[in-house]
Amino acid sequence: MLSKKFLNLNLFKSGPIAIFIWENKKKWPVHTASENIKNILGFNVDDFTSGKIVYEELIHPEDLETVKNEVSQSIKNKNNSSFSHKPYRLRSLNNEYIWVKDITNIIKENGEITHFIGYIIDINNEMKLKTENERAKLALIATTDALWEWDTITNEVYFSPQWKKMLGYEENEISNILDEWRNRIHPNDIENVYQDIENYFLGKTKHYKNEHRLLCKDNTYKWVLDRGIIIEYTSENKPKKLIGTHSDITQRKELEKEVLKEKNFVSTIIESANCIIAVIDSTGTMIKLNNYGQEFTGYSQEEISSEPFYWTRLLNEDIKDKVVEVLENAKNGNIIKSFKNAWISKNGEERIFEWSNTLVRKLDGTMDYITAIGIDITKNEKQKIVLKQQKEEFETIFNNSKDGIAIIDLSSKFLEFNDAYLKITEYTREELLSKTSIELTIDEQKEESIQMLDYVINNGYKKNYLRNYLTKYGNNVILNVSSTLLPDKKRILLTVKDITKDKNYEEQSKLASMGEMIGNIAHQWRQPLSVISAAASNVRLFEEFNPMEKDEIIKNMKVIDEQTQYLSKTIDDFRNFIKNSNEKELFSLKEMISNSLTILNPTFINNNINTIINIDEDTIIDGFKNELIQVMINILNNSKDALIQLIPVNFGRYIFINTKKIDDKFIIEIIDNGLGVKEKILEKIFEPYFTTKHQTVGTGIGLSMVYKIITQHHNAKVEAFNTSYEFNSKNYKGLCFRIIFQESQNI
């Protein structure tokens, strides 16, 4: 039976191999077990020895029959002293099954099997990874040692039958001479063997002991533990006879090799780990710091372990005492299993680590050492800080924004909103939480709003579209809306801007120029109507005085048709401009400029204003076409008014319209020769209701609407500045309006 001293070896306290001693009874109750069974299965030794748990109940139901059969077969073979199980699964404390390998010795008393001694190896990781790494068999306890007796004078040696059998020989195959043993010693071991014999003979050791390899009959080597003592001396007091035993320790050596392999494996993991692994003993000395820790801190193992608490120089001053206190508490058996703190390297780099601590105790229960594993969470912690800042910023924007912000679910039901949103809708918080965004939309736009909701769900966002809401008190408000699907795919963020006043400004701006446009229509129709009238009169006169040929009639009818189509197109251009559109569309900027000039050309001609068009580039954008036509009309009217007021006809009145692309920008420039404006006026030129004209001429609405439409509705830029230039060998000065679209807006 294994002694307690053997069970208390470090190998069986914290190593990967556990020992069980079972009674040969039903369900295999456990007589005793090594302490490290807790590391493998989570149970304490007392859980087994108290009878609370019997071994059979831990075996996986699918493996139990196989294990029982293996035990039964081994018992039937009376020559068996040990056997190995195929890998099977044991239930752990947390009800997970752990794969183990089990090598079992059979213990007999008076010929009867009383106990089994099993070596349990945790092979769970190997089985999970399905590797084919074969573990060496664990050492079996020899039931009988091989005896030898050596006469140092004659070199005759008695080898017992068991000795010969151990090497695979029959009784008569080995003679009783020393060379039978000496010639079988592995060449790499023979020097150490004789050195140990000499040390014993010289009195340097109390007895002879050596481990070496012996060649077997099948040309394999077997490890033996060779032990002997002197039983007879010569008259000169020199050793004459020794007696000893050879114990087969091949399996133990293989086990040691496996343990060393495991140790090297663990060491490799520790040294190659992408985290800090440190071991601190009860004196506060960091006896181990892995490669990662040394590389980050800049301290070598020799430096870090040179004195107790040397490692505290890695800590900020304000936490040193707290961390040292963790160590002091551990000495009393209390361990803080996890915490976060920062380490500062030798070169001043600071990183935040999350620590997992394990207390390893001595046999008496006191602290032996602490193993600390530190994972670098600096990036995560910084991200948390950034996220916290972003959250605070969002909350600040959400709560203080003048624009309405709301969060709705995928059915458009309101989940959250800011005060500005409440103010727009005129509802109370409780009232709005019971409604949907679509409910607030006017009837004419409800179906369109449902489609827009589907679009946002499928495409992620939709920016700058217009919706009309009916407030609690029946007021119709016009909103510029942007919708974004949130990352959880379950909510939508709405940002709305009340542009009711802006739309009123636009209407005022259109009305302010409506009379002029009607005049333009009349002017543009005058000439085509004259042509139609002349063609009709021509046909009538010819009919009265001289019948016309068919070809002549067709020619006059063609003229009438062409002029009629021109009139129709003119009406379409004006109608398209006047009608309102709440949806974006794809259109050509070149076409938009042309439509604008169609509306204004008659008044330009009437006032002798020359337009010079230099459209080098064109592009397609997604925007509000009529709004941009309004922008062009407002800017061109501004230039027209300045030219009429300040520039004599004979001096030449010019408006230049240029387009160009520079890098990722598309630029439209409108330049006149109206002498420019004062710098003080330039600073306020886009402010609402600011005008330098007489109240009968200007309202101050036009250019402010230009700014809003360009910057808010089309995410572009507009600027105005004085410029000087040369045209037809003459120098001119005027005002330039520059509109800048980003190419990313273009399709």
Query: DSSP characters for 369-385?
Result: EEEEEEEE-HHHHHHHH
- Give the Cβ contact number of residue 49 at 10 Å: 15
Do 160 and 174 meet the contact criterion of CB atoms below 8 Å apart?
no
Does the pLDDT value for residue 437 go beyond 90? yes
- The confidence score (pLDDT) of residue 569 equals 60
According to DSSP, the residues that pair with 245 across neighbouring strands are 147, 227
Do 116 and 107 meet the contact criterion of CB atoms below 8 Å apart?
yes
Do 31 and 115 meet the contact criterion of CB atoms below 8 Å apart?
yes
Do 221 and 213 meet the contact criterion of CB atoms below 8 Å apart?
yes
Q: How far is CA 91 from the centre of its chain?
A: 35
Does the pLDDT value for residue 695 go beyond 50? no
From residue 545, alpha-carbon distances to 72, 538, 549, 550 in Å are 136, 11, 13, 16
Q: State the Cα–Cα distance between residues 343 and 346, nearest whole angstrom.
A: 10
- % of the chain beyond a pLDDT of 90: 41
Which two tokens mark 652? 């030449």
For 110-120, write each residue's pLDDT tens digit: 888 888 888 88
- Give the Cβ contact number of residue 555 at 10 Å: 13
* In 319-460, beta strands by DSSP E: 338-344, 350-361, 367-376, 404-409, 414-417
DSSP-assigned letter for residue 436: B
Which two tokens mark 364? 């008496």
Q: State the Cα–Cα distance between residues 49 and 64, nearest whole angstrom.
A: 21
Q: How far is CA 107 from the centre of its chain?
A: 57
3-state secondary structure at position 72: helix
- The confidence score (pLDDT) of residue 541 equals 60
Do 324 and 312 meet the contact criterion of CB atoms below 8 Å apart?
yes
Q: State the Cα–Cα distance between residues 18 and 39, nearest whole angstrom.
A: 9
DSSP-assigned letter for residue 712: I
DSSP-assigned letter for residue 216: -
Does the pLDDT value for residue 431 go beyond 70? yes
- Pick the more confident residue, 724 or 33: 724
Task: Grade residue 522 by pLDDT with cuts at 50, 70 and 90.
Answer: low
Q: How many residues does the chain have?
A: 747
What residue type is 429 in one-letter code? R
Do 568 and 511 meet the contact criterion of CB atoms below 8 Å apart?
no
- The confidence score (pLDDT) of residue 40 equals 87
Does the pLDDT value for residue 481 go beyond 70? yes
Q: State the Cα–Cα distance between residues 41 and 26, nearest whole angstrom.
A: 22
Nearest to 139 by CA among 28, 218, 247, 14: 247
Nearest to 676 by CA among 690, 695, 692, 700: 692
Nearest to 704 by CA among 480, 424, 508, 468: 508
Average pLDDT over residues 474-480: 91
* In 167-220, beta strands by DSSP E: 208-215
Does the pLDDT value for residue 530 go beyond 70? no
For 354-405, write each residue's pLDDT tens digit: 998 888 888 778 888 888 999 999 988 888 888 888 888 878 878 888 889 9
- The confidence score (pLDDT) of residue 615 equals 85
Q: Cβ neighbours of residue 138 under 8 Å, at least 6 residues apart?
A: 17, 103, 119, 121, 251, 252, 254, 255, 258
3-state secondary structure at position 345: coil
Choice among 163-172, 300-309, 694-703 with the minimum mean pLDDT: 694-703
Does the pLDDT value for residue 271 go beyond 90? no
- % of the chain beyond a pLDDT of 70: 82
4-129 homologous superfamily: PAS domain (3.30.450.20)
Task: Grade residue 700 by pLDDT with cuts at 50, 70 and 90.
Answer: very low
For 549-585, write each residue's pLDDT tens digit: 666 667 667 666 665 765 666 566 555 555 555 567 8
Which two tokens mark 75? 């018992």
Helices and strands counted in the chain (H then E): 26, 28
- The confidence score (pLDDT) of residue 582 equals 57
Look up the pTM and report it.
0.35
From residue 673, alpha-carbon distances to 587, 633, 745 in Å are 30, 17, 31
Does the pLDDT value for residue 74 go beyond 50? yes
Calculate the average pLDDT of the chain.
83
Task: Grade residue 539 by pLDDT with cuts at 50, 70 and 90.
Answer: low
According to DSSP, the residues that pair with 462 across neighbouring strands are 483
514-745 homologous superfamily: Histidine kinase-like ATPase, C-terminal domain (3.30.565.10)
Of the CATH numbers 3.30.450.20, 3.30.465.10, 3.40.50.20, 3.40.50.300, which one belongs to the domain with range 273-380?
3.30.450.20
**CA atoms in the 13 A half-sphere facing the CB of 545:** 5
401-498, CATH topology level: Beta-Lactamase (3.30.450)
3-state SS of 392-414 is HHHHHHHHHCCCEEEEEECCCEE
Domains 4-129 and 273-380 share a fold: yes
What are the residue boundaries of the structural domains of the chain, listed by start? 4-129, 146-253, 273-380, 401-498, 514-745
- The confidence score (pLDDT) of residue 697 equals 42
For 713-738, write each residue's pLDDT tens digit: 888 999 999 999 999 999 999 999 99
- Determine the straight-line distance between the first and last CA of the chain, rounded to whole angstroms: 87
For 135-190, write each residue's pLDDT tens digit: 333 233 333 468 999 999 999 999 999 999 999 999 899 999 999 999 999 999 99
Does the pLDDT value for residue 301 go beyond 80? yes
- The confidence score (pLDDT) of residue 747 equals 37
- Give the Cβ contact number of residue 538 at 10 Å: 16
- The confidence score (pLDDT) of residue 576 equals 57
146-253, CATH topology level: Beta-Lactamase (3.30.450)
Average pLDDT over residues 320-348: 87
Do 29 and 51 meet the contact criterion of CB atoms below 8 Å apart?
yes
Does the pLDDT value for residue 13 go beyond 80? no
Q: Cβ neighbours of residue 107 under 8 Å, at least 6 residues apart?
A: 1, 113, 114, 115, 116, 117
Choice among 328-332, 337-341, 685-689 with the minimum mean pLDDT: 685-689
Regarding beta strands 404-409 and 491-498, do their DSSP bridges make them parallel or antiparallel, or are they unpaired? antiparallel
